[in-house]
Structure 1
Amino acid sequence: MVNALTAFGLAIGWMDIVGVLCFELVMYYIMRQRRSAVKADLPALEIQPVEDQKPRNPLPNLLSRQRMMETENAWIFWGYLLMLNMWIVVSLLMIAGIIMHKPELMTIYLSWCFCGLVIDVLMIFWWIFEMFVGDTIVAMTNILISLLTFAVELAFVLVIYAIYLNLSWSPDAVNTKVTAYFHWLLLE
């Protein structure tokens, strides 16, 4: 029998997985389009003399694709791909923890989301810095997106943590060691 909170946790897990897969497809499509555009522009790049090239900005806008070389874009793509696939594995572990009533599997998801919250805070500070040295409108838009991401991720953490507490305190749980280890989180 599944209660509403547990069903919501399962929905969060499956929604994460579907969202990550859609994001991977979009990234693959964008990189494929970019590579075909770069291959089409190669002759025009060879004609330009070296003196006409502008020096690279020492403080480029974060992820400014116009100022990045193709190898930098490829490294960002593969880094994102690795992170997104790890996200799928962590979400599957969280779903397995809910289904099998093993809250210790959910701690990995909680740790992952906590690290995401820290990254969101760092990104907000980065965009505030970007607002003063770069494009203000883009930076303010990115700050709002980062705040929205932070709020959604915090809500996910709170829901999964409530499910974790319910499973840890359930009478059929055989996980006293895990509950004792995370006792400081229980705020008794």
Structure 2
Amino acid sequence: MSDYPCRMTEIWPVEPPVAGTEQEHLVGMLDRLRATFRWKAGGLDAEQLARRTTTSALTLGGLLKHLTYVEDIKLSWAFEQEPGEPWRSVDWDADPDWEFRTAALDSPAELYSRYDRAVSTARRRLTELLDEGGLDMPTARQWQGQTVLLRRIVCDLVEEYGRHTGHADLIREAIDGLVGEDPPEGWQPS
């Protein structure tokens, strides 16, 4: 059993460990960012999820769909598994921003449900991989002549969430004034 701090009984943990292993800290930070992002994007209607607040095309709905994509493919891609639908059918060369562009076509319930399922599946998969080989587990990917380790994939996920949680902070504040660093204690998505 890995020392991954988030088991399925703790669906949306917020606080990473204060004194833990490298693995506990990395995965704890990833889960904190996931929870903060989900809180910032949560409880909105279709119009709010599609609202743009600047000249940027970013919307909270687009970010939800994009991070669903990231959760669905990141660990699969690293271990040469085929992505599921709808990602497999997208012509990414012709439409590299497909998930951002098409998010407004999905209902809020679909966006939230897909995202929550993708996070749950990614957590379960990451737990299995950490149990199997830890952060030093080699993936099927090469970059700059080196084998990419699972540690790099986890760090990439933290970086991806860091960037987009910052975007979500700004967009959500412009929509309804919601501010704050972390979800309130005991928060769970509705």
What TM-score comes out, normalization by structure 2 length?
0.33
Higher strand share: 2
Structure number with greater CO (CA < 8 Å, separation at least 6) is 2
Larger Rg: 1
Higher helix share: 1
Q: Normalising by the residue count of structure 1, what TM-score does the alignment of the two structures yield?
A: 0.33
